[in-house]
């Protein structure tokens, strides 16, 4: 059953077409990789999917809600891990997660349980009383991951899930995302990291010039296949800019 459907989405900033005819579907149980180079339109798409901006054209259905006309309903139903760094906040992780729970109208017991569970899972239990602004960026990312899942949404939209995390926690987060999607939920991961997409996603949509240019089921692809597909579909300039080291590795 579809949890996310986008049809012919378009969004321009002045003369720049950030999203230009984007169409995609995500089903329950999927961990969908939204893979593309910088500037391909990934963040603009996520902002449209969560009602942060209004697209110029196209239709969006997120868990039966329309984020363009009912953004609050959409954001109530989904979890969001935004791309931009969190601005300095003087709340502790415990207070911040209580704040998120309060805004999401969760009961206090659920929030308290969630805080303990997530602190243990991601290893920030010893930092629960430290001001968020004094945490390392990796610790801040862990807290942000926790806030995206604390209400156990059916769909989570994540921009670069593994940024700033140490390898051990990266592995834990990868395993968690995989199991979370498999439990009849869906996770939409935006990334420009081919290895991450190949490692955890069940299906990948390659984004270039504001639209999906190719879709691949990861079960049928190796990481190298995915890289080749990626390079074949992004435009020449982007291909030259991007993973030259990885291309060298393929050739050898």
Encoded one letter per residue, x for contact with another protein by CB under 8 A and - for no contact, window 182-221 reads ----------------------------------------
Q: CB count, 10 Å around CB of 14?
A: 6
Residue number, 33 or 79, with CB nearest to another protein:
79
243 to 35, 59, 83, 161: CA distances (angstroms): 13, 33, 21, 20
Least distance in Å: CB of 166 to another protein? 18
Q: How far is the CB of 107 from another protein (least distance, A)?
A: 13
User: Could you please report the per-residue DSSP string of 26-52?
Assistant: EETT-EEEEE--TTSSHHHHHHHHTTS
Closest C-alpha to 156, from 50, 238, 242: 50
Q: Is residue 163 close enough to count as binding another protein by CB under 8 A? A: no
Residue 50, CA atoms < 13 Å, CB-side half-sphere: 21
User: Does residue 42 belong to the site contacting another protein (CB under 8 A)?
Assistant: no
For another protein, which is the closer residue by CB, 156 or 197? 156
Phi, psi of 39 (to 5 degrees): 85, 10
Residue 98 or 160 with smaller CB distance to another protein: 98
Token representation of residue 214: 């190719």
State the minimum distance, in angstroms, from the CB of residue 75 to another protein: 4
- Identity of the residue, 127 or 192, whose beta carbon is nearer to another protein in the bound complex: 127
Of the candidates 212, 217, 239, which has an alpha carbon nearest to the alpha carbon of residue 228? 239
Compare residues 163 and 214 and give the one whose CB is closer to another protein: 163
Q: x/- site string to another protein, residues 73 to 112, per CB under 8 A?
A: x-xx---xxx-x-xxxxxxx-xx--xxx-xxx--------
Whose tokens are 């995500």? That residue is: 26
Q: How far is the CB of 53 from another protein (least distance, A)?
A: 5
Question: Rounded to an integer, what distance in angstroms lies between the CA atom of residue 52 and that of residue 42?
Answer: 14
**Which residues have C-beta within 8 Å of that of residue 150, sequence separation ≥ 6?**
79, 97, 100, 101, 104, 106, 111, 114, 115, 118
Q: Between 158 and 212, whose beta carbon lies closer to another protein?
A: 158
Of 66, 46, 71, 56, nearest in space to 20 by CA: 56
Q: Which stretch binds another protein (CB under 8 A): 131-139, 172-180, 192-200, 227-235?
A: 131-139
Query: Which residue among 22, 35, 49, 53 contacts another protein (CB under 8 A)?
Result: 53
Binding residues for another protein (CB under 8 A): 13, 47, 50-54, 71-73, 75-76, 80-82, 84, 86-92, 94-95, 98-100, 102-104, 129-131, 133-134, 147-148
């Amino acid at each position: 059953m579809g949890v996310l459907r986008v049809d012919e989405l378009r969004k321009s900033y002045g003369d720049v077409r950030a999203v230009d005819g984007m169409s995609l579907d995500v089903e329950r149980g999927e961990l969908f990789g939204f893979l593309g180079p910088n500037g391909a339109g990934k963040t603009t798409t996520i902002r449209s999917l969560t009602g942060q901006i209004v697209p110029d054209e196209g239709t969006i259905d997120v868990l039966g809600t329309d984020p363009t006309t009912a953004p609050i309903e959409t954001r109530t139903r989904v979890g969001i891990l935004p791309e931009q760094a969190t601005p300095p906040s003087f709340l502790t992780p415990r207070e911040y997660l209580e704040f998120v729970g309060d805004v999401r109208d969760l009961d206090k017991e659920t929030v308290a349980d969630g805080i303990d569970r997530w602190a243990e899972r991601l290893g920030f239990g010893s930092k629960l009383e430290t001001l968020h602004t004094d945490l390392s960026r990796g610790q801040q990312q862990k807290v942000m991951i926790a806030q995206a899942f604390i209400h156990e949404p059916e769909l989570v939209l994540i921009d670069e899930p593994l940024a700033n995390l140490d390898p051990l926690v990266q592995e834990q987060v990868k395993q968690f995302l995989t199991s979370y999607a498999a439990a009849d939920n869906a996770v939409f991961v935006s990334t420009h990291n081919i290895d991450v997409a190949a490692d955890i996603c069940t299906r990948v949509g390659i984004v270039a010039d504001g639209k999906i240019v190719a879709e691949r089921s990861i079960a049928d692809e190796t990481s190298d296949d995915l890289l080749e597909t990626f390079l074949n579909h992004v435009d020449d300039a982007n291909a030259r800019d991007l993973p030259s080291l990885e291309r060298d590795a393929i050739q050898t």
